[in-house]
């Protein structure tokens, strides 16, 4: 998983001053969340480059080894150990490469936001604990922090911590909401400023969530 990732790119205006790197969930691809841009973006916002990468294709253990796009293998149902830690670490490195590419294009880390849904959000949260980049914020949708206790114990929390927008479905059958709540608590205890939202939905995104996320982003762009 050392290859450069192919991406879907959507720029909302000329000469973008901000970037949002958005990681999809298991079995999807970079096109999955691209349609959210016109629903999310507001007229008065600065020009933004949305980067939607395609995860590598790899076999997934709980799906009988079926190859699909994934940020890491899922080896079981126990949320304390289901995420392949080596795979998560490899995807964090891939995310680092995407951040470096945006910095090379003239966007400072302080104007880069990291977003992810489900598996993608797990990688985003894992990346944030390493504190390599002083990013502007984290968006974690229908996701959790893999092995929250161990991750929190190893976290680098020196310096200001980025704000987090975290949202989840009360009826999520893939990642139960209490797992996400536990992750949110761990992040708050580390000092992350975290805004939590819960919606009457399954493993998905809803209109109310997009509105709330837009409000949260609006505060970042001021």
Q: Rounded to whole angstroms, how far apart are CA atoms 218 and 14?
A: 19
3-state secondary structure of 175: coil
**37, 22 Cβ separation under 8 angstroms:** no
Q: How far apart are CA 1 and CA 15, in angstroms?
A: 31
The dihedral through the CA atoms of 155, 90, 69, 139 has a sign that is: positive
From its phi and psi, is residue 201 left (phi > 0), alpha (psi between -120 and 50) or beta? Answer: beta
Distance CA 113, CA 109 (A): 8
- DSSP H helical segments within 105-176, as ranges? 119-130, 148-153
Enumerate the active-site residues: 118, 172, 203
- 162 DSSP assignment: P
How far apart (Å, rounded) are the C-alpha atoms in residues 112 and 99?
A: 8
Please say whether the beta carbons of 72 and 30 come within 8 A.
no
């Amino acid at each position: 998983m050392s290859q450069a990732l192919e991406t879907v790119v959507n720029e909302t205006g000329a000469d973008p001053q901000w970037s949002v790197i958005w990681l999809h969930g298991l079995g999807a691809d970079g096109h999955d969340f691209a349609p959210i841009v016109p629903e999310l973006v507001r007229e008065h916002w600065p020009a933004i480059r949305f980067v939607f990468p395609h995860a590598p294709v790899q076999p997934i253990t709980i799906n009988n080894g079926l190859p699909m796009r994934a940020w890491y293998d899922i080896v079981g149902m126990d949320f304390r150990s289901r995420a392949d830690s080596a795979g998560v670490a490899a995807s964090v490195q891939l995310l680092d490469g995407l951040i470096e590419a945006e910095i090379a294009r003239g966007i400072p880390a302080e104007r880069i936001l990291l977003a992810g849904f489900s598996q993608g959000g797990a990688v985003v949260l894992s990346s944030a604990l390493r504190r390599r980049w002083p990013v502007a914020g984290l968006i974690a949708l229908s996701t959790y922090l893999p092995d929250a206790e161990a991750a929190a114990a190893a976290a680098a929390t020196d310096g200001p911590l980025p704000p987090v927008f975290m949202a989840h479905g009360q009826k999520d059958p893939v990642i139960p909401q209490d797992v996400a709540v536990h992750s949110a608590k761990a992040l708050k205890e580390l000092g992350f400023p975290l805004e939590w939202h819960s919606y009457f939905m399954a493993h998905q995104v809803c209109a109310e969530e997009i509105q709330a996320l837009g409000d949260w982003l609006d505060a970042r762009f001021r």
